[in-house]
Amino acid sequence: MATKHDTETLLERQTLKPPPLYQVALLNDDYTPMEFVVAIIQEYFNKDRETATQIMLSVHQHGKGVCGVFSKDIACTKVEFVLTHARKAGHPLQCVMEEV
Return the CATH number at 86.
Answer: 3.30.1390.10
Q: Report which residue type is found at 68.
A: G
Q: Residue 54 falls within a domain, yes or no?
A: yes
Output phi, psi for 89, to 5 deg: -85, -5
Convert the pLDDT of each residue in 26-39 to its tens digit.
999 999 999 999 99
Number of domains in the chain: 1
Count Cβ neighbours within 10 Å for each residue of 75-98 and write b for 16 or more, e otherwise: beebbeebbebbeeeebebbbebe
d(CA 46, CA 62): 22
Q: Residue 46 falls within a domain, yes or no?
A: yes
Q: Residue 12 falls within a domain, yes or no?
A: no
Please give the pLDDT value at position 42: 98
CA angle 91, 96, 100 (to 5 degrees): 155
Domain hosting 67: range is: 19-97
Convert the pLDDT of each residue in 72-89 to its tens digit.
999 999 999 999 999 999
d(CA 39, CA 17): 36
CB 28 within 8 A of CB 60: yes
pTM: 0.84
